[in-house]
Homo-oligomer: A and B are copies of this chain.
Amino acid sequence: MRGLLIGRFQPFHLGHLAVIQEIRHRHPAEPLLIGIGSAQASYSRENPFTAGERFEMIERALAEAGVTGCLPVPLVDIDRHAVWVAHVTSLLPPFHRVYTNNPLTRRLFEASGYEVEGTPMYDRPRFEGTRIRGLLAIGGPWKELVPGAVAAYLEELRAAERIRDLEGEPTGARPGAGR
Give chain A's interface residues, CB within 8 Å of chain B: 6-8, 35, 37-44, 50-53, 55-56, 59, 71-94, 100-108, 128-130, 162, 165-166, 168-169, 173-179
Add 17 more A-B contacts to A42-B90, A51-B92, A76-B76 (CB < 8 A): A7-B177, A8-B178, A8-B179, A38-B174, A38-B176, A43-B81, A75-B176, A81-B175, A82-B90, A83-B86, A83-B90, A85-B86, A100-B178, A104-B175, A105-B175, A105-B176, A107-B162
| A90 and B51 form a contact (CB under 8 A) | yes
Q: Provided the pairs A83-B86, A83-B87, A179-B130 are in contact, do residues A108 and B165 lie with their beta carbons within 8 angstroms?
A: no
> Within the complex, what minimum Cβ distance (angstroms) separates A92 from chain B?
5
Bound-state CA distance A79–B43 (Å) is 11
